[in-house]
Amino acid sequence: MVPARSIFAQSDKVEDDTPSARTGLQYFKWSTHMNRLMVLLFLLGLVVVSISAKFFFDATHEIQSASVEAPGSPAMSAALSAQDNVGLLETNRTRFAVVLVITVSWFALAMYLIARRIVVPANKMAVAARQMLQGNFGSTLPNDSKGDLGDVGKLLNDMSANFQEILLLTGTAVGNSLAALERLDSTVKSDSHSSSAEMQKHIEDMKRHLGTLQTMVQEFTFYQARFDGRAVFGDVADTQGTGGPAVDRENPAMEAIDKLVMSPGSKPKGNRHD
């Protein structure tokens, strides 16, 4: 069996558009409003840390000063009146208020950025994926998302484009095959003036269109297997002369597919792959 290869395998000439490839100037160009907000968030965090550190060292210094002066000076101890205590408490309250306001702002900005950068794009992706799951491939994600989530969104769009191409190809091949079959049917039903060459032409048309489908299917790897183009299902003639469907018996996945064989008048059981 041919080794499985990703259908998304890229040529070696393709530009690497992964986040890891974006460096230096490229990253700067890629930088968006959201990235600048992230930098602002980081700077705000630094301010919180700096102010907290300053308050901590100020308080430490005041405690040390009080500890040094108080023991040797009874007058100093007496001077620590209730008014001084109130002043000290008010100073500390102001400091805590400043730290609290900055911290709350920091968290609010962080939550806003997380929501804008992760939650909203993730929700959009979920909506688009759900619509695709329901068969609506016209739904695509806007290209405004940047970063890793943006890359996932682009991949989702690319997958959607792939599905649409497969559907278009399948629909065209099936439609053309049916048209050829109808022509053949008309030819057979009409009087015997039609030549076998004409019928052969319709059959060749069908084979060509179905061949397109077969070639396409062979491009893909699924159920951890790859169809090799031979007949698989039981109601198809045994092309190998092995007395059964031509599947890779050593491959459990292909055996699983084989079990889905639809015998005349029955339906595959217990699966969603019909």
Partner 1 sequence: MPMRVLVVDDSGFMRKRIIEELRGQGHSVVGEAKSGVEAIEMYRRLRPDLVTMDITMRDKDGITAAREIIGEDPEANIVFLTILKDEKFKIEAEKLGAKGFINKTDHQSIAKFVQEMDRKQ
Binding stretches for partner 1 (CB under 8 A): 7-11, 13-15, 140, 143, 157-158, 161-162, 164-166, 168-169, 172-173, 212, 215-216, 219-220
Output the smallest distance, CB 60 to partner 1, in A. Answer: 60
Picking from 85, 86, 61, 60, the residue whose alpha carbon sits closest to that of residue 77 is 85
Output the smallest distance, CB 162 to partner 1, in A. Answer: 5
Q: Are 241 and 234 in contact (CB under 8 A)?
A: no
Nearer Cβ to partner 1 (15/274): 15
Output the smallest distance, CB 254 to partner 1, in A. Answer: 21
Picking from 256, 149, 259, 50, the residue whose alpha carbon sits closest to that of residue 267 is 259
Output the smallest distance, CB 215 to partner 1, in A. Answer: 8
Nearer Cβ to partner 1 (51/179): 179
Q: Angle, to 10 degrees, between the axis of helix 196-218 and the axis of helix 147-189?
A: 160
Query: Residues 252-256: contacts with CB within 8 Å, 24+ apart?
Result: 253/223, 253/224, 253/225, 254/223, 254/225, 256/223
Nearer Cβ to partner 1 (21/108): 21
Nearer Cβ to partner 1 (194/221): 221
What the block records as the tokens of 39 is 């930098």
Output the smallest distance, CB 2 to partner 1, in A. Answer: 13
At 26, is the secondary structure helix, strand, or coil?
A: helix
Nearer Cβ to partner 1 (221/251): 221
Nearer Cβ to partner 1 (15/191): 15
The Cα-based distances of 251 to 3, 247, 256, 258 in angstroms read: 13, 8, 9, 10
Picking from 251, 248, 244, the residue whose alpha carbon sits closest to that of residue 229 is 248
Output the smallest distance, CB 150 to partner 1, in A. Answer: 15
- 210 by Cβ neighbours in 10 Å (0-12 / 13-18 / 19+) ranks as middle
Nearer Cβ to partner 1 (91/205): 205
Identify the bridge partners of residue 225 per DSSP, sorted by sequence position.
Answer: 222
Identify the bridge partners of residue 103 per DSSP, sorted by sequence position.
Answer: none
Which positions ≥6 away from 96 have C-beta within 8 Å? none
| Residue spans of alpha helices (H) in 73-195 | 74-79, 82-114, 120-133, 147-189
Output the smallest distance, CB 174 to partner 1, in A. Answer: 12
Nearer Cβ to partner 1 (8/75): 8
Output the smallest distance, CB 226 to partner 1, in A. Answer: 13
